[in-house]
C-alpha cells in the first residue's frame, strides 16, 4: 500500500495532525492529482480552530483543505476528458445531479452535497482524489501558487456578480482574502466606488493595494456612519459582507442604501439578531453566497484571469512546506499575512515557478 504525508483533522477539537496516511485509490470516474500547491482558506481556520460551525459541519478523521492546484497522475477507466500530466484544480462541491436544485441549474445548493476537504477527504497532502466531472483545467503557464487561489476567487466572483455592480457604490466588509479578491473583481467589473472595511491595518493596507478607493477602520469609527459619509449620506448600493462578525453584519445592513443588495458570504460562529426593519422598510435584497455557481462562475473567473486584470500575485505573501503547518495557521490567526500557500514536494519555495515567501507588504498607509 502506497502512503503519503497528510494534514489530518483527527479529533473533534482544535488543531490538526501531520501523519502518514494511505494514498487514496481512485474509482472509474475519478482522478488522482499530485498536489503541487494548496492554500489556507477561512473555512480551514474554522476547522483548525474548531468553532461552532465546524462542530456541526465537518467530518473528522481525514485530510482537510480544499484549495489546490496540481498535476494529474492517474485517471479512472471511464475518464476521457482528463489526461495524465494535465495541470488542474477542481470544483469542491460534489453534487448528486438528481435533486431539484441540481436539475434546475442551482447545483451549487444541491441537497446532497459532499464538500471536498470538509465532509470528504481534501488536499493538504501529497495526493488528492477528485471527481473527473469536477476537474478544472489550468493553463500550463499559470503558476501553481496562483492556480490554487481559484476556489476562493470563485467565491469572490459569485459574491460580486450576484447582482448589478456597474456604476454602483460597493462596500466590502471584511478584508480577508476573499474580501480582497472581491475588491479587485468589483473594480474589474465596473464598480464606481469600492469601500473596504476591516479592523486590521495590515489587511486595510492590502485592500488599498488591491484597488479600494476608501478604507474604513471599523474598530475606530461607526461603520455604517462612515459608509454614509463616503456615499453622499445615501449608503452603499451594494454591501458584500465577508467577515461573519455579528456587529459587522448589523452595521452592513444599517449602512446599506435604500433598495441596496446585501450579499452575505462570511460565516457567523453564533446567532446574529437583526433589525428586520432595516431590510423590510429599506427594500433590501439579501443574498446568501455559498461556493461558486457550477460552472458559470468558473467561466466568468477564467475570463477575468485570462485578461490579466486581477492582481492575484499581490495576495500571496507567505509560502510554507506542509510540515510547517502550525506556523502557517498561527500566522493566519494573527492576521499578519495575505494568502498563505503550502508548497507540496518542494524542499524550498524557490523550487516552484513563483516565489512570494514573506513578501514585503509593509503597513505604511495611514488609516
Catalytic position from the list 11, 46, 104, 231: 46
Q: How many CB atoms lie within 10 A of CB 143?
A: 20
User: Could you give the CA distance from residue 288 to residue 300 in angstroms, rounded to a whole number?
Assistant: 19
Is 217 tagged catalytic? no
Closest CA to 6 of 92, 68, 82: 68
Q: How would you classify the pairing of strands 236-241 and 169-173?
A: parallel
Residues whose CB is less than 8 angstroms from the CB of residue 215 and which lie 6 or more positions away in sequence, other chains included: 195, 196, 197, 204, 207, 208, 365, 367
Is 43 tagged catalytic? yes
Report H helices in the chain.
42-49, 52-57, 100-103, 144-147, 150-160, 177-188, 201-210, 223-229, 246-255, 276-280, 296-307, 325-334
Residues whose CB is less than 8 angstroms from the CB of residue 219 and which lie 6 or more positions away in sequence, other chains included: 199
CA-to-CA separations, 197 to 153, 173, 335, 366, in angstroms, rounded: 19, 5, 15, 14
Closest CA to 115 of 26, 204, 41: 41
Per DSSP, the residues of 194-213 read: EEEEES-HHHHHHHHHHT-S
Going by the DSSP 8-state scheme, the letter that residue 217 receives in this structure is E
Catalytic position from the list 3, 11, 43, 108: 43
Which residues are catalytically annotated?
43, 46
Amino acid at each position: 500500500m502506497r502512503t503519503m504525508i497528510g494534514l489530518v483533522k483527527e479529533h473533534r477539537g482544535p488543531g490538526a495532525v501531520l501523519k502518514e496516511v494511505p494514498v487514496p485509490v481512485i474509482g472509474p470516474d475519478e482522478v488522482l492529482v499530485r498536489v503541487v500547491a494548496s492554500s489556507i482558506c477561512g473555512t480551514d481556520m474554522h476547522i483548525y480552530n474548531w468553532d461552532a460551525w465546524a462542530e456541526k459541519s465537518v467530518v473528522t478523521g481525514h485530510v482537510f483543505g480544499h484549495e489546490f492546484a496540481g498535476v494529474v497522475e492517474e485517471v479512472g477507466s471511464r475518464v476521457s476528458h482528463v489526461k495524465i500530466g494535465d495541470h488542474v484544480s477542481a470544483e469542491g462541491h460534489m453534487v448528486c445531479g438528481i435533486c431539484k436544485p441540481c436539475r434546475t441549474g442551482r447545483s451549487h445548493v444541491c441537497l446532497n452535497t459532499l464538500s471536498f476537504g470538509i465532509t470528504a477527504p481534501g488536499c493538504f497532502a501529497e495526493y488528492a482524489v477528485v471527481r473527473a466531472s469536477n476537474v478544472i483545467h489550468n493553463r500550463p503557464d499559470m503558476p501553481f501558487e496562483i492556480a490554487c487561489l481559484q476556489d476562493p476567487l470563485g467565491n469572490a466572483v459569485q459574491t460580486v456578480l450576484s447582482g448589478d455592480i456597474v456604476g454602483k457604490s460597493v462596500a466590502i466588509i471584511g478584508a480577508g482574502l476573499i474580501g480582497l479578491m472581491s475588491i479587485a473583481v468589483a473594480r474589474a467589473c465596473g464598480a464606481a466606488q469600492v469601500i473596504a472595511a476591516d479592523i486590521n491595518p495590515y489587511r486595510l493596507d492590502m485592500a488599498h493595494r488591491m484597488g479600494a478607493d476608501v478604507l474604513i477602520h471599523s474598530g475606530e469609527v461607526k461603520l455604517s456612519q462612515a459608509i454614509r459619509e463616503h456615499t453622499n449620506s445615501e449608503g452603499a448600493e451594494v454591501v458584500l459582507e465577508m467577515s461573519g462578525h455579528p456587529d459587522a453584519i448589523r452595521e452592513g445592513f444599517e449602512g446599506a442604501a435604500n433598495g441596496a443588495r446585501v450579499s452575505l458570504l462570511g460565516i457567523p460562529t453564533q446567532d446574529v439578531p437583526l433589525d428586520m426593519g432595516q431590510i423590510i422598510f429599506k427594500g433590501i435584497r439579501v443574498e446568501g453566497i455559498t461556493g461558486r455557481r457550477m460552472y458559470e462562475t468558473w467561466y466568468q473567473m477564467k475570463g477575468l484571469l485570462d485578461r490579466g486584470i486581477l492582481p492575484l500575485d499581490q495576495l500571496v505573501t507567505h509560502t510554507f512546506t506542509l510540515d510547517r503547518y502550525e506556523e502557517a495557521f498561527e500566522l493566519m490567526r494573527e492576521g499578519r499575512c495575505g494568502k498563505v500557500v503550502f508548497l507540496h514536494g518542494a524542499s524550498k519555495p524557490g523550487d516552484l515557478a513563483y516565489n512570494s515567501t514573506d513578501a514585503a507588504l509593509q503597513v505604511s498607509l495611514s488609516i
